[in-house]
């Protein structure tokens, strides 16, 4: 194939699609760019059709650090497993691509998006969907495209929508809506927002659908230039007699589905399926048609569930379409942890635990995005026992990363600023039972955990998962879907927000006729459901706790002059380590002079604060200190006023009367009350002793030197005046007053 290029501009940004030069052995390969950001997207369709009962589509997003001019960290200095961002991008490509293949298509398809250049201005993720669509269509795959994805932002000042914003434009937006689909329907939506209204979100979706259509038009022109030859493939068709024998059991399947208990219902359905298979098919037929029989039995279950909802308005567990399952809410479920919350809705149960730490415990990100790290971390775990199954547990799977990111996005808009609450915050949601909508349970449980921990969130967040049953023109929207309604329904639409507005949402769609009008109805119904759930949460905990748990660190913030930072840290960190070892507090010093002091025990934090303030404080004339004698010379004693600050107490100011030897009055380690009487331009400090004792009589008989004030003052100026240490005198004359020269 010769090189084919389609360059165009849309919504103020330049794009380019190119094929025919790179990766020519792939089924299809397209180089897609926005600005200078360049991604190679390849698609390979397997030649053999495996005996799977699912469509084997795999999507990988490969973050190459050379794309941003960096060498990967770690010992091996090469890219390792995908980052969370990379995993989320792979999911973002997969979800709008998967519905575009025909039912029954079982050939393996592998899509790989490799970042070649990321200009740190234009994100690479959205253009990958167009690249995947174009690569599949250039290769002639049976894909119902073109498909495209756009990100919609909204300028905070002007209110104007922005298509595929730059990183900088996104910083000045109160909305991040990612929407994908074709010119005719929406297949995927994800959004994070600063509590915007349902009406504004719907307007953004409508605008996004129009933008998708514009990108699909440009992609169609590119495909027309390539003029690909459609790929031939076979879709297996089952013997029609299988469906004919199974269809009469529709009423029995409907009866088996009517049970609110998930496992009881599953057992009844499995028992009915086994009975049909045993009584209606011979052993030979079961051996020959095994997968086809299983597929038709699944269709029977799907038809029965959907017909029940459409025709009677009753769901499998007996609820109406708008009804929420019973709630069980317990804030402060666990002792000692910094915050916790148990949230249960029906047979879905999540326990969220909040942990507070120093800001330097934030998560550092080694990705191609400009973001260096994040202060708030939400993690979601979905162990096999939550569905009553066995299985291996290890690194989080794509689904767990995706659900955790959704809940994290939902709560970020309500978190307090660092200045108000200088903590790193980690919330872990442990899904203990699952029967649909576990990500929304984790969102609600995490709100409880944050409030229980005393995090001053702006407003509490609740979430709900909405479903859809669409048969022709008949449409029923379901609130708080359970597992069967997710698997056999047409939409999984999760909406999170506060009483003011939406903070995040996510939608996956299987119905190609999904319109903006249906989404509007779903958003309105979700708003009512969120309000119901939020009211139940507030009945248990109305606002964040006023005090942190005793086990949580107390963080106090102080500000010091920037030129004093080196004094706090010390050579090689010696001073700051010493303060932490002495007090048990944890100290973080930032470049602007902000110091965070954390300690579980209050006295430890106060002690560390006092030491730091003492180090940076400049003593002033008239201030009185109880200082330790840290150095003795013939002419006086050096007294430690604060860490790193000493002053000179001249021998003439130690006692009432004549003192011949400093040791007659003071010894190393003595604590003496002194007053600052002079601070020189050079920073040297002169002291006077408060409540002077009388000089010992034996000291007055000494013939060592002269300690008259006049001569002592000269000695102070000529020898040292102030040290900060108890080293040798600067004059090298052992403290004696030099002779005058005539």
492 is known to lie in a ligand binding site: yes
Distances (CA, A) of 31 to 116, 138, 225, 370: 9, 12, 15, 23
Distances (CA, A) of 436 to 325, 476, 685: 11, 18, 72
Yes or no: say if 649 and 618 are a contact pair by the CB < 8 Å rule. no
> How many CB atoms sit inside 10 A of residue 431's CB?
24
Q: In angstroms, how far is CA 252 from the centroid of its own chain?
A: 47
Q: Cis peptide leading into 429, omega within 30 of 0?
A: no
Q: Report the alpha-carbon angle 729-735-736, nearest 5.
A: 145
Beta-bridge partners for 199: none
486 is known to lie in a ligand binding site: yes
Q: What is the dihedral of CA 307, 308, 312, 317, to 10 degrees?
A: -160
Q: Collect contacts of 328-334 with beta carbons under 8 A, ≥24 apart.
A: 329/444, 329/448, 329/536, 329/537, 329/539, 329/540, 330/448, 330/540, 331/448, 331/449, 331/451, 331/452, 331/540, 331/541, 332/452, 332/541
Token pair in block for residue 350: 């999540």
d(CA 212, CA 203): 14
d(CA 420, CA 8): 46
Tokens 């009483």 belong to residue: 499
d(CA 502, CA 499): 8
The CA-to-CA distance between both ends of the chain, in Å, stands at 104
d(CA 11, CA 9): 7
Yes or no: say if 134 and 17 are a contact pair by the CB < 8 Å rule. yes
Which residues are annotated as part of the binding site?
486, 492
Which residues are annotated as part of the binding site for Mg(2+)?
486, 492
């Amino acid at each position: 194939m010769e090189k084919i290029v389609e360059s165009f501009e849309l919504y103020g940004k330049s794009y380019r699609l190119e094929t025919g030069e790179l990766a020519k052995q792939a089924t299809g390969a397209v180089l897609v760019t926005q600005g200078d950001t360049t991604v190679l997207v390849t698609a390979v369709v397997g030649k053999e059709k495996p005996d799977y009962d699912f469509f084997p589509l795999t999507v990988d997003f490969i973050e190459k650090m050379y794309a941003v001019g960096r060498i990967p960290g770690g010992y091996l200095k090469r890219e390792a497993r995908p980052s969370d961002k990379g995993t989320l991008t792979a999911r973002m490509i997969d979800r709008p691509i998967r519905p575009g293949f025909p039912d029954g298509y079982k050939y393996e398809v592998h899509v790989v998006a490799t970042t070649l250049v990321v200009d740190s201005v234009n994100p690479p993720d959205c253009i990958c969907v167009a690249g995947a669509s174009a690569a599949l269509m250039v290769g002639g795959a049976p894909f119902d495209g073109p498909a495209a994805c756009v990100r919609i932002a909204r300028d905070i000042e002007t209110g104007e929508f922005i298509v595929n914003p730059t990183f900088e434009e996104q910083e000045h937006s109160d909305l991040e809506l990612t929407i994908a689909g074709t010119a005719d329907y929406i297949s995927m939506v994800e959004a994070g927002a600063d509590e915007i209204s349902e009406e504004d979100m719907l307007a953004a979706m409508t605008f996004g659908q129009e933008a998708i259509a514009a990108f699909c038009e440009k992609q169609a022109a590119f495909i027309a230039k390539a003029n690909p030859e459609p790929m031939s493939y076979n879709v297996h068709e089952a013997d029609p007699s299988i469906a004919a024998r199974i269809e009469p059991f529709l009423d029995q399947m409907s009866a088996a589905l009517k049970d609110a208990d998930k496992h009881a219902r599953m057992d009844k359905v499995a028992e009915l399926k086994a009975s049909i298979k045993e009584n209606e098919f011979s052993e030979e037929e079961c051996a020959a048609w095994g997968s086809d029989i299983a597929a038709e039995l699944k269709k029977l279950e799907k038809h029965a569930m959907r017909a029940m909802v459409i025709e009677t308005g009753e769901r499998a567990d007996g609820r109406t379409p708008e009804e929420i399952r019973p709630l069980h809410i317990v804030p402060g479920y666990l002792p000692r942890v910094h915050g916790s919350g148990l949230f249960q809705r029906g047979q879905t149960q999540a326990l969220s635990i909040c942990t507070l730490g120093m800001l330097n415990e934030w998560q550092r990100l080694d990705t191609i995005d400009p973001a260096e790290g994040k202060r708030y971390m939400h993690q979601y775990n979905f162990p096999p026992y939550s569905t009553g199954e066995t299985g291996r547990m290890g690194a989080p799977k794509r689904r767990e990363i995706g659900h955790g990111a959704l809940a994290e996005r939902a709560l970020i808009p309500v978190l307090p600023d660092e200045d108000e609450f200088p903590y790193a915050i980690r919330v872990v949601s442990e899904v203990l039972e699952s029967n649909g909508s576990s990500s929304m349970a984790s969102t609600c449980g995490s709100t409880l955990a944050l409030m229980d921990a005393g995090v001053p969130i702006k407003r509490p967040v609740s979430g709900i998962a909405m479903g859809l049953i669409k048969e022709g023109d008949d449409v029923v929207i379901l609130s708080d879907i359970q597992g069967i309604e997710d698997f056999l329904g047409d939409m999984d639409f999760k909406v999170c927000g506060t009483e003011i507005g939406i903070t995040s949402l996510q939608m996956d769609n299987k119905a190609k006729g999904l319109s903006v009008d249906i989404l509007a109805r779903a958003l309105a119904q979700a708003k009512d459901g969120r309000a119901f759930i939020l009211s139940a949460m507030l009945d248990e905990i109305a606002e964040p706790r006023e005090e942190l748990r005793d086990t949580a660190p107390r963080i106090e913030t102080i500000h010091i002059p920037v030129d004093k930072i080196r004094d706090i840290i010390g050579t090689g960190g010696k001073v700051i380590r010493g303060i932490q070892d002495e007090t048990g507090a944890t100290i973080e010093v930032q470049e602007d002079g902000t110091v965070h002091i954390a300690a579980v025990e209050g006295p430890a934090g106060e002690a560390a604060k006092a030491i730091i303030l003492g180090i940076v404080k400049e003593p002033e004339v008239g201030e009185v200190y109880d200082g330790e004698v840290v150095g003795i010379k013939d002419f006086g004693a050096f007294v430690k006023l604060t860490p790193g600050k000493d002053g000179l107490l001249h021998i003439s100011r130690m006692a009432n009367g004549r003192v011949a030897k400093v040791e007659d009055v003071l010894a190393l380690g003595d604590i003496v009350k002194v007053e600052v009487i002079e601070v020189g331009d050079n920073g040297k400090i002169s002291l006077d002793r408060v409540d002077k004792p009388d000089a010992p009589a034996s000291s007055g008989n000494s013939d060592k030197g002269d300690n008259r004030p006049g001569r002592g003052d000269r000695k102070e100026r000529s020898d040292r005046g102030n040290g900060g240490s108890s080293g040798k005198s600067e004059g090298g004359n052992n403290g004696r007053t030099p002779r005058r020269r005539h």
